Amino acid sequence: MLETGTKAPAFSLPDQNGTIHSLDEYRGRKVILYFYSKDMTSGCTKQACGFAERYPQITEKGALVLGVSKDTVASHKKFEEKYGLPFTLLSDPELSVIRAYDVWKEKNMYGKKVMGVVRTTYLIDENGIIVKAFGKVKAADNPQQMLDELD
């Protein structure tokens, strides 16, 4: 996990519509950047729907939400449409941003060691500095936790 007080690594990734987004375009706004393992899985769906439910309050506080996983643009589009997600999902199949943010780790899955995304959320300030970093977050609790951090 990256340290607070450091500059957030730059990125340029496609969203669920194929539009390229970079961190620089969000200068002047707070960004909740969350990394999750897979579209349509129970934990990731709980987390995404929690952010969707709180999105009006998050934007009122001058922030936005960006979700990142290694899923494809097409998978993100289905996920967005099925759950009515109002925020941007970024596709990182090459793991470039996932690795830059140090969330690609060895995990235990059913007793086997596998590599995967560790659910992690960063709060990045208006100047592109990481001000909060939360690793191994609980999917259901993380959206409210991040909303509270905006106060």
Instruction: Kindly list the catalytic residues.
Output: 44
CA distance 30 to 3: 17
- Strand pairing report for 120-124 and 104-109: unpaired
CA distance 147 to 32: 9
Q: Compute how many other C-beta atoms are within 10 angstroms of the C-beta atom of residue 112.
A: 7
Please count the residues of the chain. Answer: 151
